[in-house]
Amino acid sequence: GDSVTQMEGPVTLSEEAFLTINCTYTATGYPSLFWYVQYPGEGLQLLLKATKADDKGSNKGFEATYRKETTSFHLEKGSVQVSDSAVYFCALSDAGNNRKLIWGLGTSLAVNP
Amino acid sequence: SAVISQKPSRDICQRGTSLTIQCQVDSQVTMMFWYRQQPGQSLTLIATANQGSEATYESGFVIDKFPISRPNLTFSTLTVSNMSPEDSSIYLCSVELWGAWGNNEQFFGPGTRLTVL
């Protein structure tokens, strides 16, 4: 079945460092891909999404490009801030049922000042 | 967007007892979802709850163990019955709404952290 493999954490960076969190997937068909973020004490929030190959999702300085050839959707940010400290989840929804999300394990990010 | 609250935020329960988790949304929604996030694992969908119909359970989850109520368009409950330590998890509810991205997206509650002794 469909699955998502996400880079293991925790990831610890200094402020203004470059961030990459790897995400690869296996799916039949053409899924939509998502990054969700969970800040401490808050619920999961959609950070960005991409619905077809070569789409780039972006939000709050984060970007991820839907790469069909490598089945990847890596999350990147050029300069992280302390406020980016959170857990990041990669997810996909299968083409036939956009409501059912398949999740990665989550990657915890801690940014130090 | 939606504001979703869950009660309780956390609980410690004894083996063999049951706990009912409440999910309240600040707007009317058709579809609500219940997820489980066990320690060190990803989120797993338990069931989809539409108002006015029986919940639809995913493989591996049954109504006797996880009964769900959906009495109106803003509220749902999930009961974890006859609990065992393996039920220790974070339980999340989510709703589907028209989001800022121009299509339906899921919004999540803060979760209920359950520990079963």
CA end-to-end span of chain B: 37
Residues 52-111 of B with CB under 8 A from A: 92, 94, 96, 99, 101, 104-111
Question: Confidence band (pLDDT; 50, 70, 90) for B88?
Answer: very high
Strand partners, A40: none
CB pairs under 8 A between A and B: 45
Phi and psi based region of residue B56 (left: phi greater than 0; alpha: psi -120 to 50; beta: remaining): beta
What local confidence, expressed as pLDDT, does residue A9 receive?
Answer: 85
Mean pLDDT of B22-45: 90
Phi and psi at residue B106, to the nearest 5°? -100, 135
- C-beta separation of B81 from B87 below 8 A: no
Mean pLDDT of B36-40: 85
> What's the whole-number average pLDDT of chain B?
90
Whether the per-residue pLDDT at B102 is higher than 80: the answer is no
Q: Test B108 with A43 for CB contact under 8 angstroms.
A: yes
What local confidence, expressed as pLDDT, does residue B100 receive?
Answer: 58
Mean pLDDT of B69-87: 95
Q: Determine the Cα–Cα distance for residues A25 and A71; give it in Å rounded to an integer.
A: 6
pLDDT digits (tens, 9 = 90+) for B55-77: 999 999 999 999 999 999 999 99
* Low-confidence spans in chain A with pLDDT less than 70: 95-99
Cα dihedral B77→B82→B86→B90 (10° resolution):
20
Phi and psi at residue B91, to the nearest 5°? -110, 130
Residue A17 structure tokens: 């460092």
Q: Which of A54-63, B42-51, B96-105 has the highest mean pLDDT?
A: A54-63
- C-beta separation of A90 from A35 below 8 A: yes
Rg (C-alpha) for chain A, rounded Å, is 13
